[in-house]
Structures are given as structure tokens and as C-alpha cells.
Structure 1
Amino acid sequence: MKSNQDASQERWPRRNRMWLATAGTLVAYVLFLQVAFGIPTLVRELAATGILPLAAALALLVMTYVVRCWRVADYFPRETRGRFRRLLRLTLVHNLLNIMLPLRSGEASFPLLMRSEFGMPLARATAALLFMRLLDLHALLAAAGIGLVIGKGGEWWTVVAWLAFLLAPVPLFALKDAILKMAGRLPERPRVLVDEMGRGMPVNAMAFLRAWGATLMNWGVKVAVLAWVLRLMDVAPLSASFGGALGGELSSVLPVHAPGGVGTYAAGIVAGTLSFGAAASPGALEVISKAAVNAHLLILISALLGTGMAILIAPSKDGA
């Protein structure tokens, strides 16, 4: 009995090493922020943006989770019909895991949760997730492209280029059968990836348009909110605020995501603001760095609020 207990105690750190790494990284990050800026200073500067703007930003960010949930419900109407609360809880839990676990490992929770909650095959949920992530990446870049248009003074050619990029998924989806057929000539590994993506695509044009529209709404709102918050924190010009929003979100979408996004999210914001025209003087960099940390804090708070919602809306055993 004792040997079994000792073995279980030895296995516990191994089983929970990812969460232990996440907790350790968060503690180290808090200590770094205290040394670099001072936690009270960051809190004061966040509060200086105003209670109403912060509350509005948090409400809009949480709303984007509901939009994501609707997209999944519309994607799998037969499996999720009448169980929106259960699906919303799944979406909110998946979002928190995505933020808190490193290197996008939280993504693996989506097909696992879909299988446990709705009996969906792992291959189908994984293929759909892959296609939705491609839509997410396109919509994120399109939303941030607004900053480029603003940075160029709204010149006609920038508007045309942005619209062409924005609408690019429509003709690509119309040509999907031809593209998938051509992909059959690829080497095995990329061909398998393309085949998986094809199986995860919407069943028809109307389903695609709904998924695409929900994706654009989700990322358009999120990038606009983050750009607005960064602008309230004195990140200038406005195009740099959009660049910062893009940089932060790209850091969470790409496989360089640190546990909780600590360090990488703020670094992405700083890089994005500088790429979109922010000044690189020491004073400006200090302002941008503090704004980046506080914008990341806002994202974490919205995720935690979402998790609280997931607990509150948890259905009964037989409920929807």
C-alpha cells in the first residue's frame, strides 16, 4: 500500500508538469513586472482609463466568446441542437486552456471536449478546428489591416487591397473542389493535411458564409476593442494601436505562445505598435510596454470572467 502511495506521489508532478510550469511562469512574470514597472503603478495606469471604458471592453471581449460558441453550434447543428449552454461552457473552458497552456497545447482540448460532451469523432472535430483556425488567422489579419489603411491616410489603393484580402476566402471556397483535387498531387504529408482540412469545411456555401461572417465579427470586435484600449493608454498613432492588437493576438495564435501568454503577448503588442508607426524613443517605449502589459491583463481578466460564466451556466446532468 505504501509503495503504491509513494509511486502515486512521484507520478503527480509528472502528470501535472504543464500546470506546474504555467504556475511557475506566472509567478516569475509577476515578479518581473514588480521589478520593471511596479505592480501598483500598472494598476493605477489601468484604472486611469476609466471604469466605464474598462467595463465596456470586458463586456465586448466576453461577447466574442458567445460569437465563437454560435459559430461552433452552427457548424455542428445536429450534434449541438438544444444544448447551447453546454456548448458555451465548452467554448469558455477551451478558451481558458488555450490562453493558459503553452505552445497552443490547449487546442487539443477542443476535439477531446467535443467527443466527451457531444460524442463527436476526434477526426471530425480536429478537421473543423483546423479550418476555423485558418478563418481566424485571415480575419485577424483583415481586422488589423484597418490599421494599415488608417496609417496610409485611407488612400484608395489601400482600401481596394484591403477589400480584396477581406473577400479572398469567398472565391477560394467556391474553388475548393478544384483545389482539393489538385492537392492530390502533393507529397503525402501536405496532402493528408489538405484532406483533413477539406473534411472540416462547411457543407455548403451558406454554412461557409455564416462561419466566415461570425469569424469576421469575432475578430473585428476583439481587435477594435484592444486597439481602443491601447489608444486610451496613450499608444499613438491609431494605426499603431491596431498594430499592437494584431501583434498581441498573433502571438497567441502562432505556436510561440508562452504559458498564460506571459511575456509573449506583451512583446507581440510592442512589436506590432512599432511596425505600425509608433515612436521608438525610450519614453514612448515605456508607455507602450506598460500599455501592452495592461492590455494582456485585460485579456486574462476576460478569460477568467468567461470561466466564471462557465461555472455559473453549467447545466445539470441532463440539462441543455
Structure 2
Amino acid sequence: MKNEPVASQGPWIIRNAMWLGTVAIIIAYAAFIEWFWGWLSIFERWQKAGWGAAVLAIVLLLGTYVLRTWRIYDYFSAETKGRFGVLLRLVQVHNLLNVMMPLRTGEASFPLLMRREFDVPLARSTSALLVMRLFDLHALLAAAAVGKALSMYSEGYGGWVWLLWLGFLVLPAIAFRMRGQAVEMAEKILPTGGRGAKLERLVEEAAAGLPADNAAFARAWGATLINWFVKVAVLAWVLVLLCDLDLGAAFGGGLGGELSSVLPVHAPAGVGTYPAGITAGAIAFGASTKASALEALGQAAVNAHLLIIMSSLAGTALSLLVAGRRRT
């Protein structure tokens, strides 16, 4: 009988190892910030900037979550029609899991939630998620390339740098136009027989996860551009308020932080990696590397990261209320 608690303790730890590890990393990060700077000095920057600015920034970030939900609502219009509140809750839970879990493992929740709530096949929702993540990554890289093109143009490289940027910008449209050829090629190389038939159905489901037509593609791509422009602009504005960066460096900081969250490798809750991405992006776009400037930038980056976490938590809480009202 004495062995039963010990026996049950082992599986519980294994089942919750990822969450326990996440909590431990967050606690260690909080302790490091307290030891290195002190949380009081971190929050004092908001006292100088004004807490009203923090509230406004969170409201604007919440707006990007609503736009992100609309993108999926439009993408799966037949399945989600009339259930925007439920979809908003799903998107916010997925976003929170993505923020809190390491190595993009939270992404796996999206197709599972879409199947449970809207009966969308796993292959289709996974394909749609991949397309949307490629949209997100491309939009961020295109935005970052604007800064690089401006720098190269000012150094006398000529207008051809903008032609290169424009070519990169339209890559998603070119890829979408070639989707039919890609599906046909995949079907040709599939084996015949029972296994081939299963793989063919999988290819069909994956193709169904692409935008239905040119108009749907344009809406999804337009929503992506607006979403990331607003989010990066809000982060840049916050960095300007908190550490007196010039706008170009602040823009680079916002891009760096978001790129660190989109790429496959990031820490649980983005602790360490998100502020590091902001710092690296700001320096790449011309921020000062003097000790005092780096200290101010580091503290501002931590505050910007906290803002992202707070907006995710607030968005999840509000989406639960919205979904609850729609069910009654």
C-alpha cells in the first residue's frame, strides 16, 4: 500500500513534465531579472511613459487577435459560420499554448481544436495552418527587408534593390498560382494500390486547406499584412516610449521579437528569446550599443515581452466570456 502513492506520482510527473519545465523556466527567468535589474526598475519605465499607454497597447494587440480570428473565420467560412465567438476562444487558447509551450509544440493544438469544435479534418486544418504560418513568416521577412532595402539604397546600390524586394513580396501569389501543378505532380508520384489511395486522399485534404480562390487568397494575405503591420507598429511605439529609440531601430526591435516567436526554436513563454530578439533586431537597425543604451533597451524589451504575455492572457479571458455569451 505504501508503494501506491509513489507509483502514481511517477506517471503524473511524466504527463506534466512539459508544463512543470515551463513553470520552472519562467520562475528562473523572473529570478534572474530581479537579480540583474530588479522588477521595480523594469516597471518604473511604464510610470514614466504612462500606464495609459500600456492599456492602449494591450487594446491594440487585442485587435490583432480579432483580425487573426477573422482570417480563420473567412478561411473556414462554411464550418465556422455564426460561431465567431467560439472560434475566437479557440484561436486565443491556441495562441496562449503557442506562447507558453516551447519549440512551437502549441501549434499541434490548432488542428485538434478545429476538429473538436468544427469537425474540420486534421489534414485540412494542418495544411491551412501551415499556409497561414508561411504567410506570417513571409510578411515579417518582407517587412524586415524594407529596412535593409532602405539602407542599401541610401548607400548607393540603386533602385534594383527595390525590384528584388518586390520580387520577394509577390512570392506567395506566384506559389498560389502554381498550386494546381504542385498537386498534380504529387498525385503522379504517389504509389498505386491501397496505400496510394490513402495518400491521394491526404493530398486532396491538404489541397483543401489552401485558399479556395484568388479572392480568398487576397483576403487572407491582406489580413496577414494588416495584422503584422499593426502588431509590429505597436511594439515599435512601446519601445520608443520606454527607451527613447529612434523609429527605425524600434521597428527593427519589434520585428526581431516577433521573428523569434515565429521561428521553430523559442523558449517556453518566449522567456529570454523574445527580449533577445527585440534587442538583436533593434541593434541590427541601428540602435546604440553603449552600455547605458543597451541596459535601457534590455529593460524595454522585457516590458514589451510582458505586454505580449498580458495581451495573450487578457485575450483568452475575454474570448471565454464572448464564447459563453454566444452559447446562452
Q: Does structure 1 residue 175 correspond to structure 2 residue 175? A: no
User: 1:246 deviation in Å?
Assistant: 1.2
Residue 51 of structure 1 corresponds to which residue in structure 2? 51
Residue 15 of structure 1 corresponds to which residue in structure 2? 15
Look up the equivalent residue of 1:105 and give its one-letter code. Answer: T
Residue 64 of structure 2 corresponds to which residue in structure 1? 64
> SS in structure 2 opposite 1:313?
helix
TM-aligned CA distance change 1:237 to 1:182, over 3 Å? farther
User: 1:14 deviation in Å?
Assistant: 1.1
User: 1:255 deviation in Å?
Assistant: 1.6
> SS in structure 1 opposite 2:106?
helix
User: 1:105 deviation in Å?
Assistant: 0.5
Cα separation, 2, equivalents of 1:111 and 1:3? 39
User: 1:133 deviation in Å?
Assistant: 0.5
CA deviation profile, 1:47-72 (whole Å, cap 9, x unmatched)? 32222322221111111111111111
User: 1:4 deviation in Å?
Assistant: 5.7
1:236 is matched with which residue: 218, 238, 245? Answer: 245
Number of residue pairs the alignment of both structures matches: 317
Q: Does structure 1 residue 116 correspond to structure 2 residue 116? A: yes
Q: Please, what TM-score do these two structures have when normalized by structure 2?
A: 0.87
Counterpart contact for 2:124–2:207, Cα < 8 Å: no
61-70 or 137-146: bigger deviation: 137-146
User: 1:159 deviation in Å?
Assistant: 4.9
TM-aligned CA distance change 1:149 to 1:138, over 3 Å? same
Q: RMSD between aligned alpha carbons?
A: 2.8
Q: Which runs of 5+ in 2 are unaligned?
A: 192-201
Residue 302 of structure 2 corresponds to which residue in structure 1? 293
Cα separation, 2, equivalents of 1:136 and 1:48? 33
Counterpart contact for 1:150–1:239, Cα < 8 Å: no
Counterpart contact for 1:67–1:218, Cα < 8 Å: yes
Residue 260 of structure 1 corresponds to which residue in structure 2? 269
Look up the equivalent residue of 2:136 and give its one-letter code. Answer: D
Counterpart contact for 1:89–1:311, Cα < 8 Å: yes
Residue 168 of structure 2 corresponds to which residue in structure 1? 165
User: 1:217 deviation in Å?
Assistant: 1.0
User: 1:235 deviation in Å?
Assistant: 5.0
User: 1:245 deviation in Å?
Assistant: 1.0
TM-aligned CA distance change 1:276 to 1:197, over 3 Å? farther
Residue 86 of structure 1 corresponds to which residue in structure 2? 86
Q: Which runs of 5+ in 1 are unaligned?
A: none
Q: What is the percent sequence identity of the aligned residues?
A: 53
User: 1:82 deviation in Å?
Assistant: 0.9
CA deviation profile, 1:50-97 (whole Å, cap 9, x unmatched)? 223222211111111111111111111111111111000000111100
Structure with max Cα Rg: 2
User: 1:181 deviation in Å?
Assistant: 4.5
